[in-house]
């Protein structure tokens, strides 16, 4: 790799031998913004990024899927409401619910799509302050036993990027109680709740731990010098976690 090729600070581009060969799909919808960032994060973690188009109905034999952020279909009707019916989402829903338990990560708009798809409970509404917000956000890892969080320590605090307008997570009290009681709150906001999400919830998981959704963007915190100031790489653990999960025979 020449000195002018990315990454410029820290070389994560050479896959670890035991983790190489994994294929991680990254879905693109009309209006998706962060698919290339997600694909780059996948490559930096040591896997092959596979582009998945929303209108296609083949998963191309991927080992896991990332549904990235953006404004799919312009957030018309409701954020994620139209994308939920894409042919690709039908395949993802079936694979995530199958015995194979395909690992799926939904980031920001991807999280919204996962709730609309009923892969995760609850819903997303506009931030309580009714403004778009972009900032570095501290999160606490509440569950490090998922396919996407196993490389973090339980209770670890990480800083990744938050940018959303419809980022307020809501659910009825019974659902919120169940999420907490079952350890399905994967990440929580620390220091300040940036959007009014119920019980400071930043991200959740399904019961099996293969499907995780969160509003902040780990793919924007994977390279030293380009992410949040203190390290810039706190988000990389999401992507190395799924590789560790796959190598561990939990595919």
Residues known to be catalytic: 108, 217, 219
E strands present in the chain: 23-28, 48-53, 64-67, 104-107, 123-125, 133-141, 157-164, 168-170, 185-189, 201-205, 211-214
Q: Which two tokens stand for residue 38?
A: 């997600």
DSSP string over 213-242: EESSBGGGS-STTTSSTT-S-TTHHHHHHH
List Cα–Cα distances, 250 to 10, 63, 99, 171, 245, in angstroms.
Answer: 30, 11, 11, 30, 6
Per DSSP, the three-state class of 57 is: coil
Query: Which among 95, 83, 33 is positioned nearest to 58, based on CA atoms?
Result: 95
């Amino acid at each position: 790799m020449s000195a002018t090729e990315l990454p410029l600070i820290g070389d994560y581009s050479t896959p670890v031998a035991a983790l190489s060969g994994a294929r991680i799909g990254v879905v693109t919808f009309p209006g998706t913004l962060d698919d290339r960032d997600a694909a780059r994060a996948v490559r930096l973690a040591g896997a092959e990024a596979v582009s998945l188009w929303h209108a296609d109905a083949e998963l191309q034999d991927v080992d896991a899927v990332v549904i990235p952020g953006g404004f799919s279909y312009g957030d018309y009707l409701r954020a994620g409401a139209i994308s939920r019916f894409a042919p690709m989402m039908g395949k993802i829903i079936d694979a995530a619910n199958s015995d194979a338990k395909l690992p799926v990560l939904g980031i920001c708009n991807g999280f919204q799509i996962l709730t609309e798809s009923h892969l995760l409970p609850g819903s997303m509404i506009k931030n309580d302050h009714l403004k778009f917000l972009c900032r570095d956000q501290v999160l606490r890892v509440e569950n490090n036993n998922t396919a996407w969080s196993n490389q973090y320590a339980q209770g670890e605090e990480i800083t990744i990027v938050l940018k959303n307008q419809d980022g307020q997570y809501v659910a009825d009290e019974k659902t919120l109680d169940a999420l907490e009681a079952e350890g399905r709150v994967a990440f929580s906001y620390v220091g300040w709740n940036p959007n009014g999400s119920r019980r400071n919830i930043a991200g959740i998981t399904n019961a099996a731990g293969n499907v995780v959704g969160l509003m902040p963007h780990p793919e924007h915190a994977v390279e030293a010098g380009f992410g949040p100031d203190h390290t810039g790489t706190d988000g990389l653990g999401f992507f190395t976690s799924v590789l560790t999960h796959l190598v561990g025979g939990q595919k």
